Amino acid sequence: MNAVILRECYRMSFARKVIDWQRRHGRNGLPWQATRDPYRIWLSEVMLQQTQVATVIPYYERFLRSYPTVEALAAATEDDVLRLWSGLGYYARGRNLHAAAKQVVAQGSFPRTAEAIEELPGVGRSTAAAIAAFAYGERAAILDGNVKRVLARCFALGDDEKLWETATALLPRKNIEAYTQGMMDLGATVCTREPRCDACPVRTMCVARQRNHIARFPAKRKKKAMRQKSATWLVLRHNGQVLLQKRPANGIWGGLWCFPEATGAVKGKRLAPIEHGFTHFKLRIHPVLRELRQKTGEGLWMDVADATGAAVPAPVRRLLARL
């Protein structure tokens, strides 16, 4: 048996094990499964970037109730989109989602290949491949963090280029949807930081397991010390209303409504600080409450109850709950 046939047999065996396992033990019955609608699939894949399935489900269902089609999403205001996104984090995803919906409507239809889908704002190579696989059955390789962990361990790989080559080489010729979902499910539920190797369908093929090197893969990057930042928020209140300002599109909480940020010493009642963590730093917020006799300052005055339901980040909502 020559090397080409051996590689083909290995690919078929790997894919078959993953597909069979997914059908029996994988995550099935999720709200975005059992559909070929590229809009619904795209929406779920964007929401699932760096966010767990259990967190995404209620947001996904709420989005579809408000925007059942890409046309409805494109016609919405950015404020309304970010209001629904509020609490899901990584707000650039919400802004990109809105911009991409407008692009799709302008084009006349949703793109039909992974290469074309990747041209949409906020869609990378792996996300585009997942959408193309689930919506159109395209044989396109994904390599999100979960899949990267599975392949890095199974083939003792640390180089991203080699991982992409391997992910592509392993693609089955049919049942791409079950295979793609299976790879995601393996990384999310079995091949985790503390892997359950006894439940893994490809454990007999896993090089890292054979060599007892599971902890080495994927290669760990040096962790940078978590930076600490601080900010002072000025909470201006007048007759049950508060002043909020829209943050610039670039930077943290871009496009969301926040309390004005103060520089230097400010007078007022100091409220308990709020801690909020981001990917690369922690933010300690020092709110200062000031009661005003008349409205002043640039921004939008809103009733506290209305502000709570607006497009505000989680720390603003937490602070509003105290007022």
Q: What residues act catalytically? A: 45
Judge whether 78 and 255 are in contact, CB under 8 Å: yes
Q: How many other C-beta atoms lie within 10 A of the C-beta of residue 279?
A: 8
Residue with tokens 């109730």: 65
Per-residue burial over 280-298, b if 16 or more Cβ lie within 10 Å, else e, is eeebebebbbeeeeeeeee
Judge whether 243 and 297 are in contact, CB under 8 Å: yes
Residue 77 CA to residue 75 CA, distance in Å, equals 7
Residue 173 CA to residue 138 CA, distance in Å, equals 10
Instruction: Using alpha carbons, select from 209, 126, 208, 142 the residue that is nearest to residue 179.
Output: 142
Which structure tokens are listed for 93? 């995803």
